[in-house]
């Protein structure tokens, strides 16, 4: 069965303390691994799409990487405004299957 | 370019009632998908519409239905509401729903509370 698992469930960081979020997946045919950011009460905001093992993408303090079995979202020198839930998902035919998310809290 | 819009943003209904939610996709996007988000189950796929046809369906009961109009706007309907239907309902649009570059963009959601 296709599934995606995120860890840790929650992460508390001090401002400037870099860390990584993990998204592991077992899918029969990966057609894209997506990362979204979601603030409380709002819809997910698109961050990255990764398609091939070895691919990397960056945006400000965020960097996403992909291997054959997992993806990482690295947060470098986070700021309080990076506090959010980060969701990963894969796309077996335009119906996104999401992981449970990682709640990130960055304290000043 | 305007993003995905959803109306209403908040709804309060009682058990047994029905509700209709609306979604306007990003201009030029023809695929519209609906998701339910709850604290216990996370984000779950409901269904996807493309060119006024349901193309994919998740594992939800028949009380959940939807449709898409010729201008790509979509509605979803929930009949005979249950307490467990309380959730954030999210709509997402993409260009065609196929191909490597097709990313889904989400609206702000409709918060439904069933009393």
Chain A residues inside the 8 Å CB shell of B102: 32, 91, 94
Structure tokens at B62: 């028949």
Residue A99, pLDDT > 90, answer yes
Chain B residues inside the 8 Å CB shell of A98: 42-44
Cross-chain residue pair B104–A46, CB shorter than 8 Å? yes
Mean pLDDT of B72-95: 96
Q: What is the pLDDT of residues A32-86, one digit of tens each?
A: 899 999 999 899 999 999 988 999 999 999 999 999 889 999 999 999 999 999 9
Of A32, A43, A99, the CB nearest to B90: A43
Cross-chain residue pair A51–B88, CB shorter than 8 Å? no
Residue B90 parent element (H or E): strand B87-94
Residue B100, pLDDT > 80, answer no
**How sure is the predictor about B99, in pLDDT bands with cuts at 50, 70 and 90?**
low
Q: Is A34 on the interface with B (CB under 8 A)?
A: yes
Residues contacting A64, CB < 8 A, separation 6+: A35, A47, A48, A50, A56, A57, A58, A71, A72, A73, A74
* Interface residues of chain B, partner chain A, Cβ below 8 Å: 4, 31, 33, 35, 42-45, 48, 55-56, 58, 88, 90, 92, 94, 97-98, 100-109, 111
Structure tokens at A101: 């998310």
Residue B43, pLDDT > 70, answer yes
Q: How many C-beta neighbours within 10 Å does residue A103 have?
A: 16
Structure tokens at B103: 């990313």
Sign of the CA dihedral running B107, B78, B73, A50: positive
Q: How many CB pairs under 8 A join A and B?
A: 62
**How sure is the predictor about A93, in pLDDT bands with cuts at 50, 70 and 90?**
low
Dihedrals φ, ψ of B10, to 5°?
Answer: -135, 145
Cross-chain residue pair A51–B48, CB shorter than 8 Å? no
Per-residue model confidence (pLDDT) at position A91? 78
| Mutation site, A5, A41, A52, A94, interface B, largest B CB count within 10 A | A94
Mean pLDDT of B24-35: 95
B19 vs B103, residue with greater confidence: B19
Beta-strand (E) ranges in B25-73?
Answer: 31-38, 42-50, 53-57, 64-68
Cα A108 to chain center, whole Å?
22
Listed residue (B67, B60, B56) closest to B87, CA to CA: B60
Residues contacting A14, CB < 8 A, separation 6+: A106, A107
Angle at A16 between CA A12 and CA A21, to 5 degrees: 50
Residue B8, pLDDT > 70, answer yes
Q: Is A43 on the interface with B (CB under 8 A)?
A: yes
Residue B97, pLDDT > 80, answer no
Cα A60 to chain center, whole Å?
15
Mean pLDDT of B11-36: 96
């Amino acid at each position: 069965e296709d599934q995606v698992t995120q860890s840790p469930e929650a992460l508390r960081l001090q401002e400037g303390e870099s860390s990584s979020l993990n998204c592991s997946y077992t899918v029969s045919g990966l057609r894209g691994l997506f990362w979204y950011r979601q603030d409380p009460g709002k819809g997910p905001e698109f961050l990255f799409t990764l398609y091939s093992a070895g691919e990397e993408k960056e945006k400000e303090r965020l960097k996403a990487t992909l291997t054959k079995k997992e993806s990482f979202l690295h947060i470098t020198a986070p700021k309080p405004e990076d506090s959010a839930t980060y969701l990963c998902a894969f796309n077996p035919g335009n119906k996104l299957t999401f992981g449970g998310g990682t709640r990130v809290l960055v304290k000043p | 370019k305007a993003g995905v819009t959803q109306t209403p943003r908040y709804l309060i209904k009682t058990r047994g009632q029905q509700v209709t939610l609306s979604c306007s996709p990003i201009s030029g996007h023809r695929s519209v998908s609906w998701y339910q988000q709850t604290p216990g189950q996370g984000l779950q796929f409901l269904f996807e519409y493309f060119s006024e046809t349901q193309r994919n369906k998740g594992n939800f009961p028949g009380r959940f239905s939807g449709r898409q109009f010729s201008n790509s706007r979509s509605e979803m309907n929930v009949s005979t509401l249950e307490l467990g239907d309380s959730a954030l309902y999210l709509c997402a649009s993409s260009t065609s729903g196929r191909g490597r570059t097709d990313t889904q963009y989400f609206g702000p959601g409709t918060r439904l509370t069933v009393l």
